[in-house]
Amino acid sequence: MFEKIQAIGRLSLLPVVQIEHAADAVNLGKALIEGGLPCAEITFRTDSAEQAIKFISATFPEIILGAGTVLSIAQAEKAIGAGAQFIVSPGFNPKVVDWCLEHGVPAIPGVATPTEIEMGLDKGLNVLKFFPAQALGGIETLKALAAPYASVRFIPTGGINPQNLAEYLQMPIVFACGGSWFVKTNLIAAGEFDEITRLTKEAVSIVHQCRNLRGTI
């Protein structure tokens, strides 16, 4: 399963999705694939998350699928049982991280301080979520925070948008960016999946431009 995390790094962008109605999950998965971004983090902020993960994993096995906002071992168990391939948390919960490591499940806990980064390193983790990125000071804070930890790469999430995505992605310490502007809850609820595909294509285009600037493709 840990190769799934590396695949997110290659895609460089992780959709952070809140689904109110599980019935919308398959259409969302289709929209992401058509937009050129076959991955998603389905957040456990709604009661539909577990079922949505089941629907997407069963219909689109090619999608790299994770569960986000996982706050407990019980949620982690539900997510993995439904078909999630990795676990994302807003903060560093040692119990959830330990459960994931014991069960061979990739974990991406959130960090905001040097202490939390070192907690991650102590668990053998080298890809961590920086959350909430913009509210914590954005790129300048991330640079300062990451400076002593050469082996760690980050997934900044929170406040990422088309205007600052490229600036984040051009930082070598950034593994990928988490974003929700192209998979907004209101677009999903309104059934505007063509718009989600369009916005996803725009986001992927920014990723490709950044790769060209960095000479990686």
| pLDDT the model gives residue 211 | 76
pTM reported for the whole predicted model: 0.96
54 is catalytic: no
> Which domains does the chain carry?
2-214 (3.20.20.70)
50 is catalytic: no
Catalytic choice (41, 77, 167, 202): 41
Residue pLDDT, tens place only, 6-45: 999 999 999 999 999 999 999 999 999 999 999 999 999 9
Token look-up 């459960």 returns 99
Q: Along the 217 residues of the chain, how does pLDDT read in single tens digits?
A: 578 899 999 999 999 999 999 999 999 999 999 999 999 999 999 999 999 999 999 999 999 999 999 999 999 999 999 999 999 999 999 999 999 999 999 999 999 999 999 999 999 999 999 999 999 999 999 999 999 999 999 999 999 999 999 999 999 999 999 999 999 999 999 999 999 999 999 999 999 999 776 554 4
Catalytic choice (30, 50, 123, 129): 129
**Start-end of H helices in the chain:** 2-11, 25-34, 49-59, 73-82, 94-102, 114-122, 138-146, 165-169, 185-189, 193-214
